[in-house]
Chain A
Amino acid sequence: MARHKYLPIFTAMPMALTLSMTTYGRAATGNGAPFVIAIGADNTGLDPETVMNNESGFVMAAIYDNLVEYKSGSTEVGPGLADKWEVSKDGKTYTFHLHRGILFHDGTPCDAGAIVAWLDRLLNKGNPNFYANKAGVDSYVDFTFHGVDSYKKTDDQTVVIHMDKPNAEFLNSLAMVWSGVTSPAAVAKYGAEYYKHPVGTGPFKFVEWVPNDHVTLEANTTFWKGKPKLGKLIYRIIPESAVRVMELTKGTVDVLADVSPADSAILASNKNVHVIVEPGLMVNGLALPTQTKPFNDPLVRQALNYAVDKDTLNKYLFKGLATTMNSPLPPSQWGYDKTLPGYPYNPEKAKQLLAKAGYPNGFNATIYVYPNPRGYNPIGGATLGQALQADLKKVGVNITLQQLEWGAYLAKVRSKDFSDMCLAGWSGDNGDPDNFVGALWETSQIPSGNLSHYSNKDFDALVAQGVSISDFKARLGLYAKAQRLLMKDAPWVFINYASTIRAHTTKVHGLVLNPTTMFFDMDKVSKD
Chain B
Amino acid sequence: MSPQPVLEAQDISKHFVLKGSGDLLGRNRPVLHAVDDVSLSIARGEAVGLVGESGCGKSTLARIISRLVDPTAGTLSMSGRSITDISSARFVRSDLRRKIQMVFQDPSDSVNPRFSVFDIIADPLRQLCRPATKAELVARVREAARAVNLAPELLDRFPHQLSGGQKARVGIARAMIVDPELLVLDEPTSALDVSVQATVLKLLARLTREANVALLFVSHDLNVVRLLCSRIFVMYLGRIVESGPTEEIFNRPRHPYTKALLSAVPTLRSGRTGERVKLEGEPRSPIDPDPLACRLVGRCPWQQQRCTAAEPELAACGPAHAVRCHFPLD
Are A and B interaction partners? no
Q: B residues near A, CB below 8 A? A: none
